[in-house]
Structure 1
Amino acid sequence: MNRFFNVDVLLRLFESMHIGIIFVDPDGIVRYCNIPAGMMKNIRKEVLVNRSLYDCHSEEIHSRIRDIIKTIKEEKVTEWKKINIHSEPDLENLVSPMFTSEGEFLGMVMVSLDVAGKRELADRIRKSDKELSVLLKVSHTLNSSLNLNDVLFKILLLAVEVISFKTGTIFLLDEETENLVPMATTDCLLGEAPAETIDCASSESIIAFAVKSGTMISLQRGKPGFERIVKRPEINALFILPLKDQDKCLGALVVECEEWDVFGPEEQKLLYAFANHAAIAIKNAQLFARTQKMAFIDGLTGLYNRQYFDQILNQVVTQLKRKDMYLSIIMVDVNDLKFINDFFGHVIGDQIIKAASHVLQHSVRDTDTVCRYGGDELVILLPNTTKEEAHIIYKRILENVIKWNEEKNDNNDISLSLSIGTATAFGRDGLSDILTRADQSMYEDKRRYKMGIRDQTPIDRAKKQYYSSS
């Protein structure tokens, strides 16, 4: 029986019986509060401890408790007094002072019993109502947009309503590279360094494990693997929420919290439902993005098509009209493509077109856009690029054509040859006819190419005859 005199054992027993226990020191400061008491008073125990009793009870209740304690202190008698409170008809509250053997006042113990069970039921109803409200809002908000970046940002904002956290990051799985890429993060708003890309095949990454297994993971400071992910000293809890659409995992939401105990069973259940809505919204946005991209992509070369070029050119032209900036355009024509198609077949002709697109893509900068303008014509949009800078890219294209013919061309009878024309505009100057000037420059280069054909080989003689008869 001695074990029942252990205070911790008694407190756990009271908690299992849903008996609320609050201890207040002589100055009216709450020094202990168990979970049932916090639930009954609608205040989390972590918030209540070390604060005044006023934060737990109304002035009316506190005044009654104070009067009772004053009477008992004067009599120095330890006995339980029942307090009936109109605002808490479902609770039975008992208070008792505590004295030392010498009569010194140590504080007060308050016990609360949910005699009708209404408080717990009301709390469950309130939680369910909140969960339903959040999920309805999530469903409506996430389905209101098909822009992936917009959807990811909304997921982060709505996740805060589900569970309070310090920072959050959404990783999405890149199926081609099999990497988890950070696509949206609150760190950008906080000015922190963005998260790093994670190899999904890594055996050391807990985030990769969560995505591969589709398992929710909750970690607290001190647990294995916590420090690998969390670098901030104020963070004490981590939650990894896989974003699954049916059996396919699209990525994960990783949130970091300052509080230790925030991922209980109820929170996890709500987060699981939230993740399902988020994954569906992400999948829809990804499908929409792929569909849009396919509408702007040339099927043979993988370059952007004429429709996309016209759209982006209009955007750049609008910017140039507002501010003085340079714009250069390079028009490219694949020489002899019709001749190659007629004499060697369209399969070989397609290979030459793809070779030309490969050369151009490896000759430009990240800010430049390469498009297939027509059957044998390609175009490069060079924003904020002077005539001299465009000429550097022009020379790089010629160098890469020579390199391709020497290293990658498997057909000795055919060589890759390009006619190239450039044009530059500054602000509004030369903007209206920049395409026409680039096209004229390109055709002048093509004219020089045809004039330079020598009948040194059978292929050259066939070309010369082909052009003279066409």
Structure 2
Amino acid sequence: MDRVDKYDQMYLELGFAFILIGFFYIAVHDVLFAAHSILLYHLLFFAFIMVYTYLKHYMVKKNIFKRERLIFVFKIMDISFFSFGIVYLNIGEWAYIFTILILAFTSLVKGKRQGLLLVAILIVTTFLIYISYNISVSNQRILLVEFFTSQLFFQMLFYYITVILFVMICSKIQRNNMENEEENKKLLAQLEEKYQQLEAAQDEIKIHYGKLKDTNIKLEDTNKKLTSSIAEFYTLQQITQAISSIFDINELLKYVNDIILGVMGVSYSTIILYDEKKSKLTVHTTNIKNKEELDILNNNINCNILMNALNNSKPIIENFADSDEYVFTDGRDVNSLICVPLSTKTRKFGLVLIEQKYYGAFDDENVRLLDIIGQQVGIALENAELYQKMHELATIDGLTGIYNRLYFQERLQKEFSKAQKGGYNLSVAIFDIDHFKRFNDTFGHLFGDKVLKSIAGTVKDFLRSTDVFARYGGEEFIILFPRTSTEEAYEKVEALRKKINQHSIKDNLVTACVTVSFGIACFPESAVTESEFIRKADDALYAAKNAGRNCVKVADVWIRE
């Protein structure tokens, strides 16, 4: 059923339903409000309309006449019958809704031309029926001048103008729909053409597919070799990059272990370090999470087979691991393993151990790749040790063995930022040795160095591990107390002052005691910035010297001895 037939069928069905509704409306209305004679006329009119509607359906269904013309004739008759009912039988102005319905369907399906034609027929038909009705009722002609000047004429004029505008709107909708349908037809035609082209292309692809399949088989073999080479190159590149950028041993080994897990695809990967002082192997980094399995590995890591691999610098490959020989696998569901040494020409750092749950998991290529990784990690460990030694040289004061001013500034910045974010106290104490120049002048600079080292050792032994102690310059020292209030800092520093005062320094025949003066500042009580923090402590130190030395002063606070 095309679009026109669909709307025509809808028109016939809605028309039938509309007539039934009108019939019941008139019947109820006349019973309640009108004379019985009017009811009889109305019932006869709707009985006629029902018979006419049935004949309409029958003739359309049987296609007795040409369908399109027949439907248009029925629309004209429908308009005429309802105009007759409105004028002669006074069935009510609600019947105009049906005429508007007819015009709407006509305009939406056939367009503006047929819609306006039906409007013209409606106007002429209604005018003629109205004239004939007035002549039959009054038995005299009606003057056209009187009709055109009557209120009824203006009501009908407004009604028809509204109907014409409504038809124009429906016609506009119909034209847009037709344009859309034409566009859709064009698109459908294009899609059909594209589909045919795709079918042709698909046939051509099938022809080439057979050739490509043979080529792909050859490429797969080449790709396997290339993938293996790329994985090896990528692994080495990542490790090389880590060596040049990561100097922290723990971070570096964890990073390398993650790379090994990803590249080798093993169940477990473990990096084992060798302690030269204790001559023992210890697990440093592993992905083993099960505590029982980790205990088994730790307790049996110093077995002969692993120690021999380290001492002889020879890799181990085992695809059918026996727990009697490899005791660290007992009860761990490990059936294949590779172990390679981490070593350089000068040092043996440890081993890399990878394990798999399956039998026959490894080949010589795996050993070769892991051995290359082991060599690179050995170089990385050697570099990390050198970096650690250089870092110590850069941050440790050569004379006293405590931190230098550069390291203290770095720690101060970090601890101050933590205190600001965490909202906790941070205290600092600056002290120097009273009359230190007199010691140098009296006993010489060597004894002065002895005093500095002795004082530094005494203070270092007294402090907590979380405190930061550094030589600030000359005979001046500085202590940072994290999470310490002013009162707590004062108590600690006062106890330290007394301890130094009681400490004797001996060098051959020379024995001396020294006193020190302290200045304390606290964040956020005394200062809110780093520079102010240090300046306030320095000011407190000068206050202690001005107060006679050998005492403790707190910034912005007067503390009596």
TM-score scaled by length of structure 1: 0.58
Partner residue in 2 for 1:166: 267
Amino acid at match of 1:422: I
Instruction: Summarize the Cα distance change of 1:175–1:350 in structure 2 as closer, same or farther, 3 Å threshold.
Output: farther
Q: CA deviation at 1:159?
A: 1.1
Find the partner of 1:423 among 495, 505, 521: 521
1:398-423 C-alpha deviation (Å, 9 max, x unpaired)? 465367539x8766522243333322
User: Residue 103 of structure 1 aligns with which residue?
Assistant: none
Q: Which residue of 2 aligns with 1:146?
A: 246
Q: Which has the higher strand share?
A: 1
Q: 8 Å contact 2:427–2:523 — kept in the other structure?
A: yes
**Cα distance, 1:119 vs. partner?**
12
Counterpart position of 2:496: 397
Partner Cα distance (1:247, 1:88) in 2 = 53
- Higher-Rg structure is 2
Contact kept? 1:363, 1:396, Cα under 8 Å? no
How far apart, CA to CA, are the structure 2 residues paired with 1:231 and 1:441? Answer: 66
Q: Which residues in structure 2 correspond to 1:417-456 (within 5 Å)?
A: 417-426=515-524, 430-431=528-529, 433-447=532-546, 450=549
Aligned counterparts of 2:311 and 2:214: Cα–Cα separation in 1: 49
Question: How far apart are residue 307 of structure 1 and its match?
Answer: 1.4
| Of 267-276 and 316-325, the range deviating more from structure 2 | 316-325
Q: Give the corresponding residue for 2:383.
A: 284
Cα distance change, pair 446–279 in 1 and its aligned pair in 2 (3 A):
same
Percentage identity across paired residues of the two chains: 25
Which of 248, 253, 261 is matched with 2:347 structurally?
Answer: 248
Partner of 1:362: 461
- 1:258 is the counterpart of 2:350: no
**Pairing of 1:122-137 with structure 2 (within 5 A):** 125=225, 129-130=229-230, 132-137=232-237
- Name the CA shift for 1:234/1:181 in 2 (closer, same or farther; >3 Å): closer
Distance, in Å, in 2 between the alignment partners of 1:328 and 1:262 is 59
Match of 2:430 among 328, 331, 334: 331
Task: Report the Cα offset of residue 353 of structure 1.
Answer: 1.2
Contact 1:169/1:255 (8 A) holds in 2: yes
Q: 2:445 and 2:293 mapped to 1: Cα distance?
A: 48
Structure 1 residues 1-22: Cα deviation after superposition (integer angstroms, max 9, x where no partner) = xxxxxxxxxxxxxxxxxxxxxx
Q: Report which structure shows greater RCO (CA 8 Å, sep ≥6).
A: 1
Counterpart residue type for residue 158 of structure 1: I
Distance in 1, matches of 2:290 and 2:479, equals 35
CA distance in 1 between partners of 2:438 and 2:354 (Å)? 61
Work out whether 1:351 is the aligned partner of 2:444.
Answer: no
Task: Write the distance in 2 (CA, Å) between the matches of 1:205 and 1:395.
Answer: 56
Q: CA RMSD for the aligned pairs?
A: 4.3
Question: What's the offset of the Cα at 1:121?
Answer: 8.4
For residues 206 and 265 of structure 1, the distance between their equivalents in structure 2, rounded to whole angstroms, comes to 19
| Cα distance in 1 for residues equivalent to 2:429 and 2:499 | 16
Unmatched tracts of structure 2, length 5 or more: 1-211, 552-561
2:389 aligned counterpart, secondary structure: helix
Residue 258 and residue 306 in structure 1: after superposition, are their counterparts in 2 closer, same or farther (change >3 A)?
Answer: same
Letter matched to residue 523 of structure 2: A
The structure with the largest helix share of the pair is 2
- Residue 306 of structure 1, CA deviation: 1.0
Letter in 2 for 1:165: V
The aligned residue for residue 275 of structure 1 is 374
Alpha-carbon distance in structure 1 between the residues aligned to 2:422 and 2:302: 51
Matched residue type, 1:371: A
Deviations 1:206-258 (A, max 9, x none): 6555444434345735134523xx58734445544321123422333333433
Q: Which shifted more, 293-302 or 230-239?
A: 230-239
For residues 322 and 453 of structure 2, what CA distance do their matches in structure 1 show? 54
Q: Distance in 2 between matches of 1:174 and 1:166?
A: 26
